[in-house]
Structures are given as structure tokens and as C-alpha cells.
Structure 1
Amino acid sequence: MKDCDETCLSRIDRFSFMSGRRSRMKWMDGHCDVLYKMWKSESPISFYECNESLDVTYPAAHSSGVGIQVFAVFVPPEVPRSQFLHAALKQVDLFHERILLHGKKVVPLLSREDLIRLKSSGRMGALLSLEGADPLQGDTAHLRLLYRLGMRQVGLTWNHANEVADGIEEERNGGLTRFGRSLVKEMKRLNMVLDVSHLSVRGFWEVIEEDLPVIASHSNCRAVCSHVRNLGDEQIRALIRREGLIGVTFVPKFVHDDPDQASIEGVLRHIDHICALGGEKCIAFGSDFDGIDQKVPGLEDTGALDGFREILLQRYPEPLVRRWTVENGFQFYFKHL
């Protein structure tokens, strides 16, 4: 893990996170499935045009002040195992060919220097994340390959078991396998971020003992909504102690026990609960846009984020809102990239 002392971190303070003279950056979204939806579509979908096919488009994100977007690479379980890596590479190729477009409007985030340059560039920063290590097919060489293609973050599992660990929906609740431990060791060496969303509870606690940056990119609070994908209070406290990120998500079934009753007020209850546990410095947002069909009213797509920010400002002090919508995420990745 890279060291980042107070002098290093103080460099962040040279940049204003307020919209205005230096930057329009208002938001970091820690998880979307644009690449999966593009890969799955039978016809090309443009990220740079407003369209009904994508929840996250560049025009809407730019209008809402999204300065950093994390793009997940997700290979669904119905894909034949022999095609896992191929499908992941197809999505990485879409990232380079249809999202980055030679850095004209969106630039890859590979290092803290990229984050510094991003602040005054007026462009959107894009971070590539693997959602579920299935495409690695039990080989750390595949991790290194994806790292060289721009991957900087890995979620070890989706909901089921793989070569690394059990997912959260596996009843046996298995932890890290032998390969899983070697993968975590290699992630440490490469200075990669580990995402525990979807990971089994036992796997979570085994990862917490490891010395590498940890986040839950799109998870809410089990005390507020009892879905198994949400985090228990002790897990939240552990992430707080580790100075990780908790991406409050807009997935209706993770917001309210009755997804049809999910609302923005329900999302705010998850924020309140994390704050009550002492986690205001860990809160971020992970929309899961383009990975969900049902939406929270008022949070249907990236274009709604500006309005949501105004709702946050009506309830919380502006410095806290700024911290949750962008500063916490920026500082976390500045420290660990």
C-alpha cells in the first residue's frame, strides 16, 4: 500500500471542491454498470448521447457535475466459464473505445497524479473496477493483465461462490480460498482497492484483517433494511476503523424492506444511520445505475443527482454534503491509487 503522509494529503486542500472557479466537480458515483449494458446490447449504445438505453450518459453526468465515475466490469453467471475472461476483456475494450475516446472528455484514473490533474481539467475521471473475480479464472496473471489495462479495483465475488470466496447469497458463508488469499496478496502488491460489496460475511471479516484499502462500493445498512446484501453495524464500524468508503446505494431492495416503498427519505435514513455510528468521513454514493430495473422515485438516473444534492443540502450542512458527494471519495482514491 502506498504511504500518504500529511504533507501528501495537504495537496488536496489546494483545490476547491465547490463548483466555480477551479472545478465543477460535485459528485463521485462509486458504481455503475454502463459497460455491462453496452456489452449486453445487440446494437451499439452511445455514452455521449442522451438516450433511454442508459441511466448514466455523459450529457446527464456532466450536467449534474459528476467528476468521477466508477465503471464496473461484470460478467453474469449465465456466461460459460470458458468465456468469463473474454467477456470481461470485451467490456474493458468498450471502456477504452466508447468511454475514454482518447481522453477528450473522460480520462482514466490510474494514479493520484491523475486525480490532481482532474481537478482543474473540467473533464470526468473514470475508474475501472471488476465486480466479481470470476473472469480471473483462478490465475493472478489475469489480474495483472487487467491491471495493465487500467483496472484499479476488484470486488472479490458477486452473490455466488467462485475461486476466491463465497458470495453473500451462499448459505455456507465460506471465506477466502487458498487462491483468494493469493489474489489479495497480489492486489496488495499492485496497490489495488478491494471492494467487499457482495462478499460473504466471513469473507468480509477475513479481508478486514488484511493490509490493503477496502470499500463497500454499493451497500446500505442492514439495521435500516434487512436485505442480506446490506452491512451490519459491526461491519460498518470495521470499515470506519479502516478509513474505508461506504457507497450508499439507490437500489430499492437495499433501501427498504418493501422495494415498492423505497424513497429518497429512505436513502437518507441509511446516511443518518452511518453517521450515528461515526461514519460521516466514510460516506460516499454508489448508484448501481444501469444494473437495476426498479428505481427509487427521484433517483432514476444520473440526471437526477443535482436535484438529490439539493435535497441533501436542505437536511445537512453544506460541508457534510460536499464531503459525501465528492470529497470522501476523492481523498480515499488520492491516498490509495
Structure 2
Amino acid sequence: MNSPTPAQLPIIDLHCDLLVYLTDVPGSTQDNMEEIGCSLPSLTQGNLKLQVMAIYCATEPGSTDYAKKQSEAFKLLAESDNCLTTVTNPQELQQALQSDTTGMVAAIENASGFCEENEPLEDGFKKLEKMIEDVDRVLYISMTHSLANRFGGGNYTTQGITRDGKMLLDYMHGRRIAIDMSHTSDTLAYDILEHIDKENLDIPVMASHSNFRQVWEHARNLPTELVQEILRRNGLIGMNFLRSFLNTDNPEAIFEHIRHGFANGAEDAICFGADYFYTTDEKYADQQPFYFPDLLHAGVSYSYILKELQQQLTKEQLQKLAYKNAQQFFERIWATP
């Protein structure tokens, strides 16, 4: 049997905002390819076998109610007659990779989604338990988003971890939920790693949708030292497709980031974290266009990237980028002890 061509490889992607779109945009539908790059037709066309669905909220009053609506949207997607199926264990992941449908698993982008700024932390953990119960499994938790919250500092701050942030890490110990570094300040990222090491915590690490700061200087991209720490801990790094985080002027920049990863020790960690979200929101007008034309939606982007790289990477490396690195990470952290 012939090996799959790059365009036929199964794809695992670590981050999209379909749940935000479905709960936040009036009249939104899961099939609207014009408004969001991770619509269901695009996921099918792009051969997505597992899409991580982020539950996102800003840090503001009502954040937990907003996140709850998204966990309910996840449940509705799972129960609807569509191409999506939930994936919560290695067996279901293997089935998803071989099926004609798209698997999905939830993640939490900003811990304010389960804990308001002014409520007891214990109550927040109870909400987290309920959220996990509702969506069956949470792959990763990001402590923060762009700004600071009760747990620590986000990308656009210099704040580190707080007492509550350390308590969240203690809570995550042994629960097979990864801590995500894509929205931490540099200080918070290093504080997280220091606390994990100091307390000998069993917590996988990843950056679900971040590129390399050495290639493009941006607060959302990973500094070299943090990349090395993620690699040392057998983590994952998902390549983000947003123009702002690649290079605002160079449509070929996605390849620079991927080649940089392969050339600097990330061959077994690099994967996709496209970060598709609602693109017609006026509050982001100054960042348009969000994506270069070849990365506009899931139906075209992955096959474009893999085809362009097939002369520079081996078949095995293309498979690692497309799905194998993510698959092996999931299987490892989800394995029955």
C-alpha cells in the first residue's frame, strides 16, 4: 500500500475558538465557512481527525457563566447529528484517526472560566470539576489570557505566579491535565515550571498555540529558554497560523517557524495549533487580515503547509507535524496507570 500523500495525512490541531463563536455571535452556525476558519465543513475538508475546542473567557465579572455556556455548546456539538465525536482516551483517539469523522476534546483557555476573581478558590475548583464532567475530559488549562488574573500574569504583563496559581498547580497534580504556556507571561511560565519541580508535581506541559520568538519577536511567541524547557519535559508546541504571530509581512513565515523547530530540537514536539476564531469582530479591525490567504481556513491550510514542506522534511517528519507528536503526547498523558 502506498503511503499517504501530505494532503491525505490525518491532522490533530491543539486550538480553535469554535465554541466562543457559537455562543457569542448572534446567528452563528457550525457550518459558516465565511466567518470562522474551523467550521465543520473546513474541518472535514482539512482531514482533521482531532480538534481541540477551547473554552475561553476574559477575566471579568461573569466569566464563569460565559465559560459554562461554551461547555454547554461543546455538549450540544457532541450530541448533535454532525461529523463530530468526543475523544477522551487513547482507544477513542485511535478510532478517530481511522474514521471519517472529526474527534474533539475540550480545553480551558483562562482559568477565570471556572473561578471568578472574588470567589473562594474551593468554589472555583468545584466549578472546574463540573465543567470536566460536562465535557468528559479537559486536555489542558491555561492559567491566564492576555492580562493578569488571580492566578498570575498573562502575555502582555510581567507578573509571575500567585498563591492561587500555585494552588491550582497543586490541584492539577496527577489529574492528567496539561498546563498550557501559550498565554503566560515569561515570568509566569518560569514560575510554573519552578513550582512543578519544587513540589515534584505530575503535570504535563505544552504551548498549544504559540510560535518561536527567535523567528518573530512577539510576546505571544515562546522565548528560546522556554522552548527548551518544554522540550526537556516532553511537551508539545502547536504552531499558530495568525499573521500577527508569524510575521505581519511574510506569507512564507509559517515555514520559517516550522523549520526552526525541526532544526532546534523540537522534532518530537512540534504540531499544529492554528487558532481559528471569529474574524469579523470589529474590535480586532486593526489586525486585519488575520491570516494569510493560504492559511485562511482549515480546509486548505494544513495540506498547503505539508505539501510545501515535503521537499524539506522526511515523510516521518511530516507525520510527526501532522498528528504523530500530538497523538503520542495524548496517549502518554491519558494512559491508564
Give 2:46's match in structure 1, choosing from 64, 76, 79. Answer: 64
Contact 1:25 1:119 in 2 (8 A): no
Aligned to 1:39: 23
Contact 2:174 2:203 in 1 (8 A): no
Q: 1:70-101 CA distances to partner (integer Å, 9 max, x unpaired)?
A: 11111134xx41x111110101111111x223
Structure 1 residue 295 corresponds to structure 2 residue 306? no
In 1, the alpha carbon distance for the partners of 2:332 and 2:319 equals 18
Distance 1:103 1:282, change over 3 A: farther
Contact 1:25 1:66 in 2 (8 A): no
Structure 1 residue 202 corresponds to structure 2 residue 187? yes
- SS of the counterpart of 1:203? helix
| Structure 1 stretches lacking a partner, 5+ long | 1-15
In 2, the alpha carbon distance for the partners of 1:289 and 1:60 equals 11
In 2, the alpha carbon distance for the partners of 1:25 and 1:266 equals 22
In 1, the alpha carbon distance for the partners of 2:12 and 2:52 equals 8
Distance 1:313 1:255, change over 3 A: same
In 1, the alpha carbon distance for the partners of 2:4 and 2:105 equals 21
Structure 1 residue 235 corresponds to structure 2 residue 232? no
Aligned to 2:75: 96
- SS of the counterpart of 2:277? coil
Note the C-alpha offset of 1:25.
Answer: 5.4
RMSD of aligned C-alpha atoms? Answer: 2.1
In 2, the alpha carbon distance for the partners of 1:279 and 1:135 equals 31
Corresponding letter in the other structure for 2:298: T
Give 1:85's match in structure 2, choosing from 39, 54, 64. Answer: 64
Name the count of aligned residue pairs.
Answer: 307
Instruction: Identify the range of structure 1 (56-65 vs 111-120) with the bigger mean alpha-carbon deviation.
Output: 111-120
Aligned to 1:29: 13
Contact 1:196 1:204 in 2 (8 A): yes
Q: Tell me the percent identity.
A: 25
Contact 1:284 1:328 in 2 (8 A): yes
Instruction: Identify the range of structure 1 (182-191 vs 122-131) with the bigger mean alpha-carbon deviation.
Output: 182-191
Give 1:245's match in structure 2, choosing from 231, 236, 246. Answer: 236
Contact 1:31 1:287 in 2 (8 A): yes
- For 1:120-199, what aligned pairs fall within 5 Å after superposition? 120-137=98-115, 138=121, 139-150=124-135, 151-170=138-157, 173-199=158-184
In 2, the alpha carbon distance for the partners of 1:303 and 1:119 equals 17
Q: 1:103-161 CA distances to partner (integer Å, 9 max, x unpaired)?
A: 75311122223213323333211010111111222422222121212233211110111
- SS of the counterpart of 1:190? coil
TM-score, normalised by the number of residues in structure 2? 0.85
Instruction: Identify the range of structure 1 (118-127 vs 63-72) with the bigger mean alpha-carbon deviation.
Output: 118-127
Give 1:75's match in structure 2, choosing from 46, 50, 57. Answer: 57
| Structure 2 stretches lacking a partner, 5+ long | 116-120, 197-201, 280-287
Aligned to 1:8: none
Contact 2:142 2:182 in 1 (8 A): yes
Contact 2:33 2:41 in 1 (8 A): no
- SS of the counterpart of 1:126? strand
Instruction: Identify the range of structure 1 (26-35 vs 119-128) with the bigger mean alpha-carbon deviation.
Output: 119-128
Corresponding letter in the other structure for 2:184: L
Aligned to 2:333: 336
In 2, the alpha carbon distance for the partners of 1:291 and 1:222 equals 25
Note the C-alpha offset of 1:19.
Answer: 4.7
Contact 1:32 1:291 in 2 (8 A): no
Structure 1 residue 255 corresponds to structure 2 residue 246? yes
Distance 1:291 1:335, change over 3 A: farther
Contact 2:75 2:134 in 1 (8 A): no
Contact 1:236 1:274 in 2 (8 A): no
Corresponding letter in the other structure for 1:39: T
In 2, the alpha carbon distance for the partners of 1:303 and 1:315 equals 23
Note the C-alpha offset of 1:284.
Answer: 0.5
Distance 1:102 1:113, change over 3 A: farther
TM-score, normalised by the number of residues in structure 1? 0.85
Corresponding letter in the other structure for 2:64: L
Note the C-alpha offset of 1:51.
Answer: 3.3
Contact 1:155 1:194 in 2 (8 A): yes
Contact 2:58 2:110 in 1 (8 A): no
Contact 2:56 2:109 in 1 (8 A): yes
In 1, the alpha carbon distance for the partners of 2:331 and 2:55 equals 22
- For 1:270-285, what aligned pairs fall within 5 Å after superposition? 270-285=257-272
